[in-house]
Amino acid sequence: MKMTRLVEIGSLAMVGVLGACGSSTTDGAGGTTGKTGQTCSTLPPMTPLTAATKIGFVQLYEASGLWRTANTNSIVGEAAKRGYNLVYNPGTTDAAQEQVSRIQELIDAKVDALIIAPHDETTISPMVVAARKACIPVFIEDRGVDNTVAIPGVDYVTLIGSDMVTEGALTAQWLINKTAGKAKIVEFEGTIGSSAAVGRKKGFDLEIAKQPGMQILVSQSADFDVKTGHDVALQLLPKYPTADWIFSHNDGMSFGIIQALQEMGKTSGKDIGIVSIDGTKQGAQDVADGLIAEITECNPKFGPILFDTIEKYSRGEAIAASLMNTDRTFDSTNIASYLPEAF
Contact residues for ligand AHR (CB under 6 A)? 62, 65, 67-68, 142-143, 196, 224, 250, 252, 277-278, 298
Q: Residue 33 or residue 162: which is nearer to ligand AHR going by CB?
A: 162
Closest to ligand AHR by CB, 174 vs 224, is 224
Distances (CA, A) of 154 to 49, 83, 129, 137: 21, 28, 9, 10
Stated as kind and residue range, the H or E segment containing 278 is strand 273-278
Q: Is 66 or 261 the residue whose CB approaches ligand AHR more closely?
A: 66
Q: How far apart are CA 235 and CA 202, in angstroms?
A: 24
Helix, strand, coil content of the chain in percent (nearest 5): 35, 20, 40
Cβ atoms of 198 and 168 closer than 8 Å: no
Nearer to ligand AHR, 147 or 179 (CB): 147
Q: Is the Cβ of residue 43 or residue 117 nearer to ligand AHR in the bound state?
A: 117
Minimal distance, residue 278 CB to ligand AHR, in Å: 5
DSSP 211-245: -TTEEEEEEEE-TT-HHHHHHHHHHHGGG-TT--E
Q: How far is the CB of 223 from ligand AHR (least distance, A)?
A: 9
* Of 57 and 67, CB closest to ligand AHR: 67
Q: How far is the CB of 224 from ligand AHR (least distance, A)?
A: 4
Strand partners of residue 184? 215
Least distance between ligand AHR and beta carbon 301 (Å):
13
Q: How far is the CB of 163 from ligand AHR (least distance, A)?
A: 12
CA distance 163 to 147: 15
Q: How far is the CB of 321 from ligand AHR (least distance, A)?
A: 19
Residue 109: left if φ>0, alpha if ψ -120 to 50, beta else—which one? alpha
- Number of other CB atoms surrounding residue 333 within 10 Å: 9
SS3 296: strand
Q: 339: which DSSP letter? A: G
Minimum gap (Å) between residue 10 Cβ and ligand AHR: 19
- Residue with smaller CB distance to ligand AHR, 158 or 250: 250
**From the CB of 158, what's the least distance to ligand AHR, in Å?**
17
Q: Residue 46 or 114: which CB sits closer to ligand AHR? A: 114
3-class secondary-structure state, position 34: coil
Q: Return the closest-CA partner of residue 44 out of 13, 16, 11.
A: 16
Residue nearest to ligand AHR (CB): 67
Spatial separation of the C-alpha atoms in residues 86 and 341, rounded to whole Å: 26
| 3-state SS, residue 334 | coil
